Chains A and B, each alone.
Chain A
């Protein structure tokens, strides 16, 4: 900007040298990485041809094996529901244990370590291990997504418990309440709104991930999708993908309804009157998969 004062003919808002250098570095890195990974224009061009043929084979979506589709989708939904429920029930005590403002250090660090261990492993890798342990099928998927849910909501629950106001805790404690009563009447009411937000978000995220664990044999629509790919049934693949997107969109609407009932206390008539409403609960910025 100083340059604009001394030399009026130069561009007033030119990029700084540092920004230019950064951009150049990114471009150089991108070129280097592309050669390292063996990208080439011919391959890309050939891919475009394949892509056109691939898309042509995807349409129109097949409606032949709707029973197979329904079976897979139902199993995915079951996996998502059970994993979310188990995850919430296990994450709640863990996050109370991990909150530094309520618990002594010897209780917080094992809980926090466990939660971050659950977070560090990708759900698919956990699913592989559970498939080996409990065999193929939905149970492995439920367990794998439960671990992922503990890692995700456990962390967010802990953080929101650490942000509560301690005045109410002190007030309840001053009445001579037991520890359990302090938790129930002073801590949980303060974090309930955020818990509902995180839990609905986790249901949404488990719904998306339950379509994926099937690829390694842990049940759900993922297995159907993978075998449709391997048999080149691209029209059936298209049907499955459209169904997944529709379910996830419906899930987002449902999560909105749950939040408005539990947090904004809407009545039935209010809900029918204004269908769409702005999301007032802050959503976690993190997207786990």
Chain B
């Protein structure tokens, strides 16, 4: 920010100016672009007013149908779907870590000092993150057919970008001292990674994996909406059949596992770090 302070040397009494005209112009241009984008979006977006007028009535109707929650439909298929969801999230995370570690290592410039390899690895990471997990699920349903296999692999592919990017950043932040010392002893790349980088990135690694598992629990709960297994499939069929009391049960269950997952990762982080 120091460059922003402009004090004309010739005239000590001159008013203090925070920004140069060029900086101010750029800022105004930026704000103008924001406002234009917002105005343009407001003007062209499709809103059907008739639908908006009866929104309160529709909400009341929805809540009315959701109550009372149909607890008795929990044992059986919904319980199985819930456990399936947890398995999908966990297995997806394990697969993602296995696939993301090499990409993350290739994306870190200090470990892989090769611009082309870095760029390719980053491209993989960005593509993985740009495509939503629901879209990944659609792709894998087209390949493996509907079911938890497609969902698990979708979760794994979506997580590569997240795990790989953060892992790559953690590696780039590592202290070069121990690495240089190991290189000086003539250690192989494998040994340098295992004894130079790993001890430094271990806390980051575990928190990335735990965080991703938590996100994956949430994601796997909705993947079933497109047919990729888990509790989302039960949610989808309950909605298609207008069994709103069952829908509310499933929403409560999803909410519960999300909270439980969050509590678990907080505990695990304390134990591991």
CB pair A265 B3 closer than 8 Å = yes
Stretch from A97-105, A178-186, A240-248 that touches the partner: A240-248
Question: Could you give, for residues 120-138 of chain B, a 1 whenever the CB lies within 8 Å of some chain A CB and a 0 otherwise?
Answer: 0000001101111111001
Q: Is A68 an interface residue (CB 8 A)?
A: no
The contact of A135 among B19, B51, B194, by CB within 8 Å, is: B51
CB distance from A4 to the nearest CB of B (A): 13
Q: Most chain-B CB neighbours within 10 Å: which of A54, A133, A212?
A: A133
Evaluate contact between A37 and B152: CB separation under 8 angstroms.
yes
A-to-B contact residues, CB < 8 Å:
13, 26, 29-30, 33-34, 36-39, 43-44, 47, 50-51, 54, 74-75, 77-79, 81-82, 85, 120-122, 124-125, 128-129, 132-139, 142, 208-209, 211-212, 215-216, 219, 222, 225-226, 229, 234, 241, 244-245, 248-249, 252, 258, 261-262, 265-269, 271, 285-289
Q: How far is the CB of B12 from chain A (nearest CB, A)?
A: 24
A248 touches B126 (CB 8 A): yes
- Which residues of A are found within 8 Å of B148, using beta-carbon distances? 37-39
Nearest 4 Cβ contacts at the A-B interface: A135-B51, A78-B41, A267-B22, A47-B144
Q: Which of A122, A133, A286 contacts B222 (CB 8 A)?
A: A122
Residue of B88, B126, B166, B239 near A128 (CB, 8 A) is B239
Within 8 A of A (CB), among B67-113: 83-84, 87-88, 90-91, 94
Assuming the A-B contacts A139-B47, A208-B130, are A258 and B258 also in contact, with contact meaning beta carbons closer than 8 angstroms in the complex? no
User: How far does the alpha carbon of A124 sit from the alpha carbon of B129 in the complex, in Å?
Assistant: 17
Q: In whole angstroms, how far apart are the Cα atoms of A127 and B130 in the complex?
A: 20
* B interface residues, Cβ below 8 angstroms from A: 1, 3-4, 19-20, 22-23, 25-27, 30, 37-38, 40-42, 44-48, 51-52, 55, 58-59, 62, 83-84, 87-88, 90-91, 94, 126-127, 129-135, 138-139, 142-145, 147-149, 152, 162, 166, 194-195, 207-208, 211, 215, 218-219, 221-222, 225-226, 229, 239, 251, 254-255, 258-259
Task: Check if B130 sits within 8 Å of A129, measured CB to CB.
Answer: no
Residues A120 and B255 in contact in the complex (CB < 8 Å), given A138-B46, A267-B23: yes
B62→A133 contact, CB < 8 A: yes
A142:B149 contact, CB within 8 angstroms = no
Minimal beta-carbon separation of B152 from chain A (angstroms) = 7
Whole-angstrom CA separation of A29 from B126 in the bound complex: 30
Are B84's CB and A36's CB within 8 A? yes
Is the pair A82, B42 in contact by a Cβ cutoff of 8 Å? yes
Q: Which residues of B contact A216 (CB under 8 A)?
A: 225
Contact A139 B45 (CB under 8 A): yes
In the complex where A47-B149, A122-B221, A137-B47 touch, is A248 in contact with B59 (Cβ < 8 A)? no
CB pair A265–B135 under 8 Å, yes or no, is no
- By a CB distance below 8 angstroms, the chain A residues around B94 are 26, 30
Contacts of A75 in B (CB 8 A): 45-46
Q: Looking at the complex, which one of B42, B166, B219, B255 makes contact with A285 (CB distance below 8 Å)?
A: B166
A268 near B133 (CB under 8 angstroms)? no
Report the Cα distance A230→B200, complex, angstroms.
47
- Can you list 30 A-B contacts (CB < 8 A)? A29-B90, A33-B91, A43-B144, A75-B45, A75-B46, A78-B40, A82-B38, A120-B258, A121-B255, A122-B219, A122-B221, A124-B134, A134-B51, A139-B46, A139-B47, A139-B48, A208-B129, A212-B134, A212-B135, A219-B46, A234-B142, A262-B27, A262-B30, A265-B19, A265-B23, A268-B22, A268-B26, A285-B208, A286-B211, A288-B215
Contact: B87 with A244, CB < 8 Å? no
Residues of A within 8 A of B219 (CB): 122, 289
